Structure formats: C-alpha cells, structure tokens
Structure 1
Amino acid sequence: MHSIISRYNDLKIGKKLIIIFLLISIIPIILLQVFHFTSVRETMTSQVDEIIQSDLIQISERTNLSLENYTNLMYQIYVDENVIDEVMILMNGTPTRRAAAKSDIRELLHRYTSVVEGVRSISLVCKNGESVTYDFATDSSMYNIWDRFKDMRIAPPYLDAESKSGMVITPSMKFDENGVKKYYFHISKRLYNFDQLEKGSIATVIMTIDEKMLNSICNSSEESKTGINFILDDNGKVISYPSEAYVAMSTGENLEAFVRESGYLQSSHNIGINKYKDESTGWTFVNAYDTDEMLKDVRRIQIITVLISAVIIMVVGLIIFYTTRTFDKSVNTIVKGMQTVQAGDLDKRISVKSKDEFGTIATNFNIMTARVKELLQQISSAKDRQRHAELKALEAQINPHFLYNTLDSINWMAIEHGENEISKALSNLGLILRHSVSKVEEKTPIIAECDFLQRYLELQQIRYEGAFKYEINMQPELKNLYIHKLLIQPFVENAILHGFEGIEEGGMLSINMDISEDNRFLQISIADNGNGIEEELVNKMNNRDAVINDDNIDKAGLGLKNAFSRLVMYYGGMAHWNINSVEKIGTEITLYIPKSECE
C-alpha cells in the first residue's frame, strides 16, 4: 500500500487528474448505474407481482362466484322432493316403474341443466348401481359422456363424494369423444331421503362442467404473449389451462419448465411465477409472465441512460485530456522558472499567457521574486491579523444567555406590535431552551416537566397547524415527585412525528401520570389515536433485552430504543415499560419508574 501511494505521488499532475477522473467519475457512475438499474428492476418487478397477485385474487373470486351458481343448482336438486321420490322408485320399484322413473328423472335433470351455462351433464347414481344421466350435448337417453363407465359407482366424482361430506369438487378429467379430447370437472354431493335419514344416502348427484368455463375466467382476453393464467389442484395437477392438451397433467416442481414445454413464453429469457391459493376450493391460481416483456420500457430507459452516460463520459474524457495537456505545459513552464529563481536569478520572469490559475500563479511568482522582503512582512502582518480575528470570533461566540436575551427582545417587539400569538410562541421557545440546556442530567419536579411538555406541545400544534389536540393529566399527589429532565419528551415527539404522520386533523395525544396500584411505581402513559406501530416492531420494543443489547434495531424504532435505553440508564433494572398498539387505531406507551427514585 505504501509503495502504491509513493508511486502515485511521483506521477505528474496530468496523470493524477486522469486517475482522479476515473475514481470519482467513471467508476462511481458505473456503480450508481448498476445500483439504479437493479433497484428499479426490483421495484418494478415487485409492483408487477403485486398487480398480478391482485388479479389472481380477483380471478379466484370470480371462479368462486361461478362455482356458487353450480352449487346453488346442486342444492335445488338436493332438496327437490320429486327427484327424491323418483330415486326411491328407481331403487325399490318394479322394472316397469324403474324405467318410468328414469325417464322422469331425465326430464327433471334436463330442466336443471338448462338453467346455468357450462353444464355438460347431470347424473344421479344410486346406491344399488342404477344411474341416470342427462347429457346436454347429446340430448340422448342412449349416449352420454359417462358411457365408458359400466358402473358409475367407480367414477372418480362418485368415489370422492362417498369419502367426503358436503359438496365435493373433482378436478378436470379427460374424455375422448369421437377422437376429440375434451376436459370437464365435476361437482358431486350425496342425496338423502329426508324422511329416512337414518338409512344414509340414497344416491349421489354428479354435475359435469366444461373446463372452458374456468379458462374463460382465467384468460378472459385473447391469448397473450406476455403471460398466462391457469389453475392447479392440491396435487399439482392442472385443472384449467389455456391449452386443453395439458389439462389433467402434473406440472412437477418446475412450473417455468412446464410453461415452456406447453408452448407458451418459449422465447422468454426470464419467466415470473405468481401463485394464490384459494382456501375454499383448495385450488392454486397461477400466473406465468415474461418479465423481460413486462419490463421492456425499463430496459429501454436503461439503455438510453447508458448511452447518454457513455457520451457524457467520452465528452468529459476529451475535456480532461485537453485540460491535462494544458496543465502539463503550464506546470512545466512554472517549474522551470522556479528552478531558475532557485539558482539565484531573481530577475527571471515566468511567461504564461493564459489567464487561468496558472497565469495568476506566474504573475504572482514574478511579483514575489521582486518583493521577497515585502511579502515576508505581509505574511507576518497577515498572521497577526488572523490571530486577532480568531480572538474576535471567540469573543463573539453565542452562548445560551445571549440566545435567551435575544429571544426576550424579539418577544417584546412582538408584544409592542400586538403579535400575541408570536409572543406566546417565543416565550414558550425561550423557556423550552432554558429548560433543555441547563443542567440536563439533573432531576426536575414533575409539575415543572408537565409545564415544559405543555409549552412544547403548544409549539408543535403551531407547527402542525392544529392537526392534533392534547391533554396532560397529573394526579395532585405527584407534584412533590421528581423525574429526570426531558424523559417524557422523546416519546411525545415520536407520537407526533410517526403517530400523526399524514394526519391533518382529528389527532389526539393524551399524557397521563399516576401511581401504580401496588404503590411502587410512577406510571406515565403516552397515548395517541394515530397510525399505530407494526406488530413485529411492537414485539421487539417490548423485549427489554432486544432494546438494550440489539444494535440492529430498524430506523423506525431507533428513537424509541434510545429513549428506553435512557430510562434504564437513569433508573436501572426496576424501570420497565409496555407498548400496546393497533395499526390505524393508535398506540399507548406506558412507563413504570420506581417511585423510590422519584422522591
């Protein structure tokens, strides 16, 4: 390190200027650009993620609203006595009556199917294996979507309903219809004869719904090149996807790879993934988007900024290069002249034609060589004048008494001009200043501290234009007790600065002083109806060890940490406190000071 400094000191001024230019200009600019680009990208990405998360919540709510229409329809079937009666015939009637019951049930299901869009079919599967399905697409009693199941009791929706209570949603399943793959999800519920509940369920109702209904909610606009939405179940299987070919498939752990494999966002270098899990359905709503496309405007601005910075650096570099060459020439001329004078030729004059600092140096050097003795005398005289000026400056230093007298003079001027409000504010300011700077470490009567707080709050009310009101309540028996000066003021200031931040009116600050129920502590509470404090910070501030020993307290809690530390420093281990706070409602800080230390 020493050798590097030595080599730097030996460099000519031109090279030093270039090095300085690199160190204080180019390198900082590059670092600032990198930091700026990174922070802007992170901020924009965070904002985009928040917007997408909000969109996913809205998609979830719209999905639940659509599902509610289907569940309401299921409930109508569930309580339809005609349906229940026909099912009982289907289970216990003669073959002729069962055939008639099937026809009646199909007609009833037909009416329900036409109520809500998206329903492919409704099936009734009895305990004895009998089943009736009305297929809205085929409108046939012979052919329906469940033809491949000889016994509907082995169909996944039936099994799901049998193993769970209430309405059950079965994720999307693949059906092959005439070589065309289609996907449907199902809502099922067990059906009971309310007159024979003790016998258990008599059948299961299965509603089959087109997966396109979900996709239309998730991707309401035309297919986007910048992002897609899709739905997964608890096991990571796809319930709805823009491309039906990937419905009912497992995505695996790498969602980004799955999206690329499905043919979406393949040209994207970076894909952002956002998820929202809906607790009512257990489904996870996912958004995948092209982060580069989303942030293309930011990248464009970054490129423009880089180009502008490069041009600026080049221009400045040319200026520096020209300047250093001029410096070198002027410095060499001056150095040669000095060397000549050093050799004893006091008649030597330095010839520098420029009017910059080097021209001034040359002119002054020429004068210096002719008036060496005179300049020495001037230097001596200048030192005397400097010493005299320093003494004058010391004598003129402002002390507290000067400030008190000055404020008092301004106060009387305000009174003479009828400015009573200004007079009152100046008077309060003077008393606050006197109270603050005189014997800070000493104790003061509580009643004097209350008077100080009142004057301080009056000034703060002027500053915040009446955004808050205050009250100070002190029990009479406390007037003979003493506390350290300025012990309460930091908590009051914190309540005003942070509690009432952004509040223009309606603020209320209450300071209450009393003796604790066990008569051992002076109890002081500072309460406000302001913004409140985050729960995490409240818990940290209520932890005595964390407040005293943790040096990494967030900036938001630094003021309180210092105030609590001062409380412990003055009153030792018996002093303690408690913070109660609810965000958007207010905060109350209660201090407990040993009464024995206040007498």
Structure 2
Amino acid sequence: MKRVRAALRLKTIRSRIVSMELIIIIPALILLGVLLYQQMGNLLIKTNSESYDRILESTGRILDNNLEYYRDISRNILSDDTLQEILESHKADEPEDGIMDIVSLIKLKNAMTQYMSGFSGLRSIHIFDNAGKRFSMENGSMTDSFPKDTSFPDMRKSLWYQQAVANQGYETFVGYNVITSKEDAFSCARILKNLKTQETIGFLILTFDKNTFKNVLPSNDDQGKYLLIDTESEKNHIVAYSDGTDAEAQESLDIVNEQSEEYYTCSWEDSETGWKLLYIIRRKDIVKEASGIKTIINNGLLTTIIILAVATFIVCSRLTKPLYELRQNIIKVGEGARSLDGEFGDDEIGKIGQEFNRMVNEKLALSEKITQVELKNKQAELELLQSNINPHFLYNTLDSLYWMAIIHEADDIAELTKAMSDIFKIALSKGDKFIPVSQELDFVKSYLYIQNIRFNGKIKYYIQTDEELRNYRIIKLLLQPFVENAVYHGIEPKIGEGTIGISVYQQEGRVYFEITDDGVGMETMDDLKKGYAVKNSIERIHLIYGEDAEVIFYSKRNEGTKVQISFVKEIKDVQSSID
C-alpha cells in the first residue's frame, strides 16, 4: 500500500499544478456541460411548445368551422316549417313517453330526409315534443330502436341536458352519443323554440360520426399524438383522434388524466364548446433533437480539457524552468564554476534566479579579486627588491653601513643609508599588507630624501595630514608610484627647483590622497596611465577598494600635475578578508 501511495505521490511542482488545475476545472466543465444541455432541452421544449400551440390554434380554427357547419344543420332543422307546425300542435299534450303519432312521424320523416341526405356526417336525428314523445331517424330511415332503459324524463336529469337548457336555444356539443351512451359518435343537443313566440316547443338531438373530425386533426408524427376531448361531461370523452387505435387514444387520455411528468402536454380550448384539442409527447422525444448538441458539447468539453491540460503543462513548464535553471546553477557552483550566466525572467521566480546569480558572481568576483590582490602585493614586493637578495640580509647590511658612516663621521652617507634602510623596513612591514598612513608618509619622505641627494636638493616637498587619519590603515606602497611619477615626469624635466605636495584628508565618508607638483605638466595623460607602475597601482586600488575607488589625473603644460586618489573610508571587511 505504501508503494502505491509513493507511486501516486506527485514529486514535481509542475505535475502538482497540472493535477490540481485539472481536478478543479474538469468537474466545473462537466457541470457546465450538464447545465448547458439542460438549458438547451428547456429551450427546445419552449420552442417546440410554441410551435405546437400554433398548430393547435390553427387546427382549432378549422374545428370551429366544422362545428359551425353542424350548428347550421341544427338551425336548418329548427327553421323547418313542418317541424315548427308539428311541435306547436303538440305543445299542450300531456307528458307521455313514447313515439309520436303516425301522421306526425310521416311528416317529419319526409321533412328530415333532406337533412340526412344533404349533410355528410349526420348519423341520426332525434326530435322530442314537450310531452316527451319522440321522432327518431337514423342513417336515412325512421327507426324506433330507442334504448328501452332510456326515457325522456331520465334524459332530463343528465348534465348535458341541463347544459343545453341553460344555453337557451344555443347548441350544446357532447363528446359521445347521448342516446346510446356509446363513444362511436358525438352529439349536438338544443331546445327547440317557436320562431315567432320563442316558446319552448321541443328538444333536438343530433348525432354525428366522429370520423368526420379525423381530417381536421393533424396526422400523428413519430413522437406525439393529437386528441380532441370533451371535458364538459361527467368524464373526459375522446371526441376524435388523428391516427392509431381506440386503445392507443385511450392510453393517451389516461396519460393526460394522470398528469405524468414523463410527458409534455399542450392544449387549445374551444371557447364555445369547452372541448380541448391536445398534443401529447414524451419530453425525451422533444429533447431528442438535442442529442446532436449533446455530442457537440461532449466533444467541446473533451477538446477544452485537452487544450487546458496542454496549456497548463506549457505554462507550468515555463514557470518551473527558472527553478530548474537555478538548480543547475547551484550544481555548477558546487562543481567549482567561477561565474554564472543565463537569463531569468522578471517574475518572482526569475528575480530569485537573478539575485542568486548576482550574489554568487559577486562572491566569486570578490574571491578572484582577493587572489589577484595577493599576487599583486607579492609582485610589488618582489619588484621593489628587484633582486633575489634576502631582504633581511640587505636591511642588516644597510644598518651596518649606517653605523660605519657614523663612526667615520660621514654624515651624508649615514643619512642616505638610513633612508634606504627605512624604505626597506617599511616595504617589508613584517609581511603586513596594510600599514598606517603615517608609515606610508615616512616611506615617501625617505624616498624623496634619496631622490634629493641625486638631484642636488632640487626637490622641495610638503605634507599635510588629517591627524585623525594618521593611524588609518591603507595598502602598502599606495603613494610611492605616484610620487615617483611626479619626480621623473614633473620635476626632473623642469629647469630649476620644483615642489611636490602631499595632502591627506577625509570628506563625506571618503578618504582623499592628493599628490601635486609644479613641474612641466603634460598635454595628455594616456602615456602616463599606460606606465607599468601607475597602471599596476591603479589596478591594486580597484581590486582592494572596489570599483567606486577613483584615481583622477589633472595636468596642464608648464603648470604641473595633480593626482587625486579616493575611496570609501570603511573597508574593514575587505582588509580582514585579505589579511
């Protein structure tokens, strides 16, 4: 188990970021896809329902026209003179259930035959006078097949009869055959009134074949079904359906009555009859059109996930690349690299890489500078000695010469020998690389004393020193090369005496050394700066005191030259690292 967890553990930042982003984004995309699919389904239902409503409304107008046709039949029968005459003559009869007298029957048969033959779809005509005696005609023939268990007084108790009476002579349509109670026909019932007196003189029932409505309803499509139902009766009766069997139509009506959530139903209601035109369809059949959209959504989600995974991997690679490069640089430093290169970006990780490279390069450069300073110092000491003579032996020999000159009272030789001895003493400095300013100035004094003997006292000099700086430690042999330059390039070519001035002071955290002479001066300082001793001294100053140390030359022909050396006063860390 531990091995499995170890194998599944993500070891790199890149893999962790990619995994976390996919874990967050994939469920969100799936949820978005589901919501989008549901929204598309709802939109399809709304769009299709609007289409269904328009179809039902158009069909309803055709249905109204057909019903108006059936109303015309009942109105034509009402206005028939024979009918008016017979029913008017019977209005005072006593209530009696049965058929009319033979004379009335014959007259009505002759009168009604034209309506039976003249109007298609009319199946039967039933006329009742106020006494309840009836006339029945079916399929063009007079009949007495009225159900035995159905009487006119019983009919008066039914809901459809009461509705017809309440309509005051207007037609009432019933979704089944009210005479036989069968579903093979629908009925039109109305009270009959005297056209002149508007007194009720009878009752009319017409039955029509339901098949006449089949041409009115749209044909069923592969998904839904159309129904015309009567909702005003004691129960819902199917008036007509477009296709299929009676059982299928009844099944569709049961679905409507159960109000199943699995089906979608839209309806149109006739304002006069109360009949409803329905369209029933499974909801999943409506959104079946969205299956193609579902495929597009799934493909889009898959493509988006792949693109996101690739994009995330690329972005993470770019994010972690500086970390990898930083790791490689650390390895290089560990293997002994003397400098680091490579570019990092400007983001947070890139800045870390830039700072690391800068820090390492500075440390490596400082180490290199320290090494070079060590070499330069040793080289300066060796060049000063200019031979392989043991410095201590030479110093001891000069000291012996000094005392011999004193014994023989040769004061000039004694002073010269002492000056040389002081120079070697300061140059050696017991191996110290830094000496106080006071010792450096003593070195310069001894040097100028020796040079004055050579030039017969031609050189004058003065030294001005800030007392606070006398014990300040500086690199050994800092001033001598520049003083030597003043002697040989300034005073020696000059006719007559010359003066060399040395000033040591501090200002704004920096220490200044100025060497001036009133010698012949120079037109250009290029040759002077290229001199081996001066060039070597400038390099030593920059190596020890940093790049912000300055060595500046000022010179003008026949007026003289000034050299200004300056650097930051606090260099304890550098001194301690070199020492």
**Given the two structures, how large is their TM-score scaled by the length of structure 1?**
0.48
Q: Which has the higher contact order (CA 8 A, sep 6+)?
A: 2
Structure with larger Rg: 2
**TM-score, reference length from structure 2:** 0.49
